[in-house]
């Protein structure tokens, strides 16, 4: 969100889904839990200047966060979490790949089926925790985004 604001854009984020569900293998591996353990799953849609740009699936293994996360509606999820609980998350890993959009993703992102997407997987930790607090998978329209990584 901050990168988009720095570029002069006006990002918004809205919640599309919030549920408890059993963790799939890749979610369980990312969070350091067992496949089938319940996780909090939120799905958000980010728009920039009114255009759908990114669908993000957020997963949390800490079920004590569920009562708080149910109340998230829009804006920055990390800011909401910090304001509501005092938990500050730090990104510890980012993996970027590419793939083609499937039908449901195409509809949400308002793009043609099979359009290119960037898939960004992140792990976010609380200070001092071994396992990630949040695992997120974002699907971003490749025609609408540029990543800059500074080192």
pLDDT tens series, the chain, 151 aa: 555 555 566 778 999 999 999 999 999 999 999 999 999 999 999 998 889 999 999 999 999 999 999 999 998 999 999 999 999 999 999 999 999 999 999 999 999 999 999 999 999 999 888 899 999 999 999 998 777 778 7
Report the SS3 class of residue 55.
Answer: strand
What pLDDT score does 57 carry? Answer: 98
In a domain, 68, yes or no: yes
CATH number at residue 126: 3.40.1410.10
Q: Domain range holding 29?
A: 2-141
Q: Is residue 150 part of a domain?
A: no
Does 20 fall in a domain?
A: yes
| 147: in domain | no
Quick one: pLDDT at residue 151? 74
What pLDDT is recorded for position 8?
60
- Provide the domain count of the chain: 1
Q: 85: which residues sit within 8 A by CB, 6+ positions away?
A: 65, 68
Q: What's the pLDDT score for residue 146?
A: 75
Q: Is residue 58 domain-resident?
A: yes
Q: Is residue 99 part of a domain?
A: yes
Residue 29 per-residue DSSP state: H
Structural contact between residues 10 and 48, judged by C-beta atoms closer than 8 angstroms: yes
In a domain, 146, yes or no: no
């Amino acid at each position: 969100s901050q990168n988009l604001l720095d570029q002069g854009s006006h990002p918004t984020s809205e919640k599309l889904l919030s549920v408890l569900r059993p963790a799939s293998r890749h979610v369980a591996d990312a969070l350091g839990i067992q496949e089938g353990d319940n996780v909090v799953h939120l799905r958000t849609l980010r728009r920039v200047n009114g255009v759908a740009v990114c669908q993000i699936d957020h997963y949390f293994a800490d079920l004590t966060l569920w009562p708080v996360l149910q109340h998230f509606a829009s804006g920055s999820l990390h800011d909401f979490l910090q304001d509501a609980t005092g938990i500050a998350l730090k990104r510890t890993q980012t993996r970027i790949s590419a793939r083609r959009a499937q039908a449901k993703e195409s509809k949400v992102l308002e793009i043609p089926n099979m359009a290119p997407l960037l898939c960004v997987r992140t792990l976010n930790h609380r200070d001092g925790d071994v396992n990630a607090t949040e695992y997120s998978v974002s699907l971003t329209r490749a025609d609408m985004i540029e990543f800059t990584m500074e080192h």
